[in-house]
Structure 1
Amino acid sequence: MTKRLVVDPITRIEGHLRIEAQMDGDTITGAYSSGTMVRGLEIILRDRDPRDAWAYAQRICGVCTLVHGMASIRAVEDALNYQVPYNAQIIRNLMIAAQYVHDHVMHFYHLHALDWVDVVSALKADPKATSELAQSLSSWPLSSPGYFADTQKRLKDFVEQGQLGIFAGGYWGHSEYKLPPEANLMAVAHYLEALSWQRDVVDLHAIFGGKNPHPMFLVGGVPTPISPDTDSGLNAERLSKVADVLGKMLTFVDQVYVPDTIAIASFYKDWFKQGEGLGNFMCFGDLPGKDIKDIGSFGLPRGAILNKDLSTIHEVDLHDPSQVEEYVSHSWYDYEGGKDKGLHPYDGETTFNYDGPTPPYDQLDVEKGYSWMKSPRWKGHAMEVGPLARILLLYAKGHEQTKALADSTLKTLDLPIEAMFSTLGRTAARTLETKVIVDMMHDMYGQLIANIKAGDTKTHNETLWDPSTWPSEARGAGFMEAPRGGLSHWIVIKNGKIDNYQAVVPSTWNAGPRDPKGQAGAYEAALAGHKLANQEQPLEILRTIHSFDPCIACAVHLTGEDGEELLQLKVT
């Protein structure tokens, strides 16, 4: 085997991911993405009541704390043709949108910004100059020289005590860091502010779903009754709190997140020319209107883009067995019909067959299986999902605000639209999407208030709650656009129980291994061509992988050493 550069684990992500980069001198000629934990959640869900599936499926991950629950109940509702009241759709949309805003801000400051921000360099900054820089970008009130001096002192204390803590493990001083000390100090301050800000944002999930993480869901609607004049349910006080949270979200996005993204990107414009990857993008769509079957009502549209051609939007049908298929030719799974066969998730199989190396090992045998992730494909194409895909689709469909934001940002940075197909293009798209979403939330909230004032307080439909009314067999696809991209749960119900359950998640689309045709996944394709300044500190690999916001816990799950069941849950 030819030796490769190995990064294992990739840090500042959820879950376990290994990247092996084939090197020619200092250039990556090929890359391999390996999820290093086994996945088995679908097996746990077999033979259970489909109305309970969301409670198990939601535990796939605690980062996107509600998305799997949402996809799960939508799968059941699709299978049983279950209609959801308009108020429930709005409340769900507000919860989904809040997840976007919370997740994107957290990703930028706490998971990805440290790829561009040299934390220790901030100790050299002039607080007065930092204040002038911050005030030139926005009217955010926490921008005085004294404020930045206090932040710098806190950081200095961390460093002098050898307790960098949350800032430990970075490649500080790396030659590819380009921000001046003042920009680094401003970013560190905003990193700390975002930690406090997010505590308010998650209140919205608690108000609508009872708690966070893992809020409560209900097939057929939401468990939150609207009770304007009582102390229980969604009353005037709680609705006022929602409005307050929305205001805080908007202010931080407008005055901190958006300006910071543009300011940091201006120092790294070369990163708008690399990390492109596949050039194929797909969205399942989300934020529906009154009827989720009305695809045209979606705030985030559905469709696929191939070969970066924004002039043609291809239709996506999750029920069509010829469109979405999963392959295991380079995974540690087996299919009854052979490893090179593709299966639609309705017919999906989860059968383990680990024949890989035993840790610790030098490198993977990539001619065989090398990941606990499958390789999903759309009409045979490897696809990228996520904020970049959604922004490109909105842009291609002529969404006015998206076009205005994207064009303005690109003009400010003196870049063409093609710059979006890149590592920093993904990062910028995530920021632009956050602005679009937070503005949508105010319209959603206004519609909810209007419905309540008009006397509509219904939040749940119990029409099909009796299993005796269900068909003997039913199939459904539950989809949503999670922060990291298109998420879908497929369910087959027989005689009132789950017969088969398959989840195809964003990080499987993006991080999956090669397929039988040798097509690379999105991570693998995006790394090709990168030049590394220092192979002992592969900052460039982290930048591009983090631009996807990996969440490998969604793609792989834990089992025992010999495949045995570790835990049984009994619902009484």
Structure 2
Amino acid sequence: MTTSPERDRDLVEMAWDPITRIVGSLGIYAKIDFKNREVAECYSTSSVFRGYSIFMRGKDPRDAHFITSRICGICGDNHATCSVYAQNMAYGVRPPQLGEWIINLGEAAEYMFDHNIFQENLVGVDYCEKMVRETNPGVLALAERTEAPHAGEHGYRTIADIMRSLNPLEGEFYREALNVSRTTREMFCLMEGRHVHPSTLYPGGVGTVATVQLFTDYMTRLMRYIEFMKRVVPMHDDLFDFFYEALPGYEQVGKRRVLLGCWGSFNDPRHCDFTYENMSDWGRKMFVSPGIIVDGKLITTDLVDINLGIRILLGSSYYEDWTDQEPFVTHDPLGNPVDIRHPWNQHTIPRPQKRDFNDKYSWVMSPRWFDGQNLLALDTGGGPLARLWVTALAGLVDIGYVKSTGHSVQINLPKTATLPEKTFEWKIPVRNGELLSNAIERNRARTYFQAYAAAAALHFAEQALREVHDGRTQTWEPFTVPDEAISCGFTEAVRGLLSHHMVIKDGKIANYHPYPPTPWNASVRDVHGTPGPYEDAVQNTPIFEENPPETFKGIDIMRTVRSFDPCLPCGVHMYLGDGKELRKLHSPHAFNPS
């Protein structure tokens, strides 16, 4: 979108710090142009530093997944899984197929759990009747008069009825979603013992005792979830489509250039041997395809290329540079040169200082992906948007329940207790001839990926049961820790791409860097002045809220930020050492980025 000249603007400085309904260390500082109804500038900040990459050094590599699981109390199992993948590569161990099917079932349950609770109980509040009444009463009045196109499938007659069902604590659908979150956590615990820090997940496989009863218990809960999703997908389609019609131009809210990254998810144990040398091949066999999309085009599905292209920039973050340090890794196992700014070579050197929007203002670094010419500020689309978009274009997945067509993803849900078989198709979002990576489509993709994860889980459960019926019940393979190794793990955390990079020397961890989605999404202006995805998406956002500056809530800004599913613990990490106590004194500072 174009912006007005500075002389025609009426700029008001506003801050939302902390952003609510997420872990509270994310702040958004913005200049709002109320005259032209748009956001002029945005700065994303994180006030927390935790330092996992520092205190991982010197640890026994076998403890890596137990430690890194504690990076986050929301997606800890994603970190544990990614760490196990990196350890498998380092130790040269290939888990039994049954062990990998169990891990896939656990990760599928995590996607179902986390997306459900975030979408319905956190993001959903942004679109509920109470919020719309406070920010856009005219939209609510129209919603009362608008029949829901799929009312016969989800049971809500009008769009306003859907909005009322999302009201926190009292809305019918809000409460139902809370119950669903309980059963999906049970599904995870059946596979990996404990949620969110797995107790039966190890390098080499799992310690889960695989029985027919175990998978039957999982499947009974899964089928209830699938029945739930047959109502949820059409309900959200009705709600999100309504906002486009009620507020012409709303597709610009949270819109940014289509720069999406997905590292792939759900390994196929029939192909994945966890060797770096074969990573390009087994990566493409994942049930969620890895890839990078630039301006709507899929430019690679090669995990080796993806790995080598990662660069960690500093720019506006509170760290000292490390490029004068000796690199840990000069070449990857295939002989390709490794950049000094690659996570394998990164040093975390914190330098606390006063926040200055003209210089340093956040503890989040600025990951970028180098395509050979440009350092791209990729985002994850909240996770599902990138996963579905990459998988759709790659056209590599076809397991009956889910299929990528080259332009869409088909999700086939079988007959359940009270509902017939149902097929959903996620299509690459286009409106008025324009590809859309925006707030509405990030949220819509989250709903479709819940259905995708459930459908994929059906396939995983069938394969696991086949292993058990055929007598192949081994779930773990022994291994030894080498004196020296370099390795990486790639998967998708709930809210997007996740990689763990490890260097082992003398049998201990010499360097370890986890890169979850939050540093990518919440990254700040890098050394070249390129804003991070939150900043970029908010700066492109028009204002549709009806409130004047005095009572302005910033709902369009909040919808933009929360559409990425922000979770700041994964962005930055703290280490004090020697039992020191950290005390922080708060004092107000004027926001003045100009």
Query: TM-score interval w.r.t. the shorter chain?
Result: 0.7 to 0.9
Whole-Å Cα distance in 1 between the matches of residues 394 and 428 of structure 2?
23
Partner of 1:182: 161
Whole-Å Cα distance in 2 between the matches of residues 314 and 412 of structure 1?
18
Whole-Å Cα distance in 1 between the matches of residues 262 and 256 of structure 2?
17
Check 1:564–1:538 CA distance in 2 against 1; reply closer, same or farther (3 A cut). farther
Whole-Å Cα distance in 2 between the matches of residues 61 and 81 of structure 1?
27
The number of residues matched between the two structures is 502
Partner of 1:221: 205
How far 1:214 moved relative to its partner? 1.1
Letter in 2 for 1:348: Q
Partner of 2:286: 298
Select 1:246's aligned residue among 222, 226, 249: 222
Check 1:283–1:333 CA distance in 2 against 1; reply closer, same or farther (3 A cut). same
Measured on the aligned residues, the alpha-carbon RMSD in Å equals 3.2
Render the CA deviation track for 1:65-122: whole Å, top value 9, x for unaligned. 3111111111111122221111111111111111111111111111111111123789
Select 1:210's aligned residue among 177, 193, 208: 193
Select 1:445's aligned residue among 461, 465, 469: 461
Render the CA deviation track for 1:246-300: whole Å, top value 9, x for unaligned. 1112111112x21221121122114333322232111111111123341221101
The answer (yes or no) to whether the contact 2:149–2:238 under 8 Å persists in 1 is no
1:241-390 aligned at under 5 Å gives the runs: 241-255=217-231, 257-269=232-244, 270-290=249-269, 291-292=271-272, 293=279, 294-310=282-298, 312-313=299-300, 315-317=302-304, 321=308, 323-337=309-323, 343-357=341-355, 365-379=356-370, 380-385=375-380, 386-390=383-387
The answer (yes or no) to whether the contact 2:323–2:340 under 8 Å persists in 1 is no
Check 1:411–1:75 CA distance in 2 against 1; reply closer, same or farther (3 A cut). closer
Whole-Å Cα distance in 2 between the matches of residues 559 and 411 of structure 1?
44
How far 1:559 moved relative to its partner? 5.1
Whole-Å Cα distance in 1 between the matches of residues 307 and 132 of structure 2?
53
Select 1:525's aligned residue among 521, 536, 542: 536
**Is 1:136 equivalent to 2:127 in the alignment?**
no
The answer (yes or no) to whether the contact 1:287–1:298 under 8 Å persists in 2 is yes
Whole-Å Cα distance in 1 between the matches of residues 345 and 475 of structure 2?
33
Worse overlay, 181-190 or 277-286: 181-190
Whole-Å Cα distance in 2 between the matches of residues 355 and 412 of structure 1?
43
Render the CA deviation track for 1:134-184: whole Å, top value 9, x for unaligned. 9824267xx7x9xxxxxxxxxxxxxxxxxxxxxxxxxxxxxxxxx854232
% same residue: 28
**Is 1:551 equivalent to 2:567 in the alignment?**
yes
How far 1:417 moved relative to its partner? 7.4
Give the TM-score normalised by the residue count of structure 1: 0.81
Aligned partner of residue 346 in structure 1, secondary structure: helix
How far 1:28 moved relative to its partner? 1.1
The answer (yes or no) to whether the contact 1:200–1:245 under 8 Å persists in 2 is yes
Give the TM-score normalised by the residue count of structure 2: 0.78
Name structure 1 gaps, 5 residues minimum. 146-178, 227-234, 358-364, 568-572
Render the CA deviation track for 1:360-394: whole Å, top value 9, x for unaligned. xxxxx222111111100110211012211111112
Letter in 2 for 1:250: I
Render the CA deviation track for 1:391-425: whole Å, top value 9, x for unaligned. 11122123645725599778999946745421111
Whole-Å Cα distance in 1 between the matches of residues 496 and 303 of structure 2?
15
How far 1:353 moved relative to its partner? 0.4
Check 1:137–1:273 CA distance in 2 against 1; reply closer, same or farther (3 A cut). farther
**Is 1:201 equivalent to 2:184 in the alignment?**
yes
The answer (yes or no) to whether the contact 2:101–2:460 under 8 Å persists in 1 is yes
Aligned partner of residue 281 in structure 1, secondary structure: strand
Partner of 1:43: 54
Whole-Å Cα distance in 1 between the matches of residues 313 and 360 of structure 2?
11
Whole-Å Cα distance in 1 between the matches of residues 527 and 449 of structure 2?
34
Whole-Å Cα distance in 2 between the matches of residues 17 and 261 of structure 1?
27
Partner of 2:101: 90
Whole-Å Cα distance in 1 between the matches of residues 219 and 347 of structure 2?
45
Worse overlay, 11-20 or 417-426: 417-426
Whole-Å Cα distance in 1 between the matches of residues 149 and 242 of structure 2?
16
How far 1:565 moved relative to its partner? 4.7
Partner of 1:156: none
Whole-Å Cα distance in 1 between the matches of residues 348 and 536 of structure 2?
26
Aligned partner of residue 33 in structure 1, secondary structure: strand
How far 1:47 moved relative to its partner? 0.9
**Is 1:455 equivalent to 2:450 in the alignment?**
no
How far 1:352 moved relative to its partner? 0.9
* More relative contact order, 1 or 2 (CA 8 Å, 6+ apart): 1
**Is 1:70 equivalent to 2:85 in the alignment?**
no
How far 1:480 moved relative to its partner? 0.9
Select 1:433's aligned residue among 414, 436, 449: 449
Check 1:417–1:394 CA distance in 2 against 1; reply closer, same or farther (3 A cut). farther
Render the CA deviation track for 1:294-330: whole Å, top value 9, x for unaligned. 12211011111112235x4464426854x11111121
Name structure 2 gaps, 5 residues minimum. 1-10, 273-278, 326-338, 398-402, 412-422, 583-594
Whole-Å Cα distance in 2 between the matches of residues 265 and 135 of structure 1?
13
Whole-Å Cα distance in 2 between the matches of residues 91 and 330 of structure 1?
42
Whole-Å Cα distance in 2 between the matches of residues 241 and 44 of structure 1?
39
Whole-Å Cα distance in 1 between the matches of residues 183 and 528 of structure 2?
47
Whole-Å Cα distance in 1 between the matches of residues 85 and 24 of structure 2?
26
Aligned partner of residue 206 in structure 2, secondary structure: coil
Check 1:455–1:122 CA distance in 2 against 1; reply closer, same or farther (3 A cut). farther
Aligned partner of residue 212 in structure 1, secondary structure: coil
The answer (yes or no) to whether the contact 2:258–2:296 under 8 Å persists in 1 is yes
Check 1:197–1:327 CA distance in 2 against 1; reply closer, same or farther (3 A cut). same
Check 1:377–1:120 CA distance in 2 against 1; reply closer, same or farther (3 A cut). closer
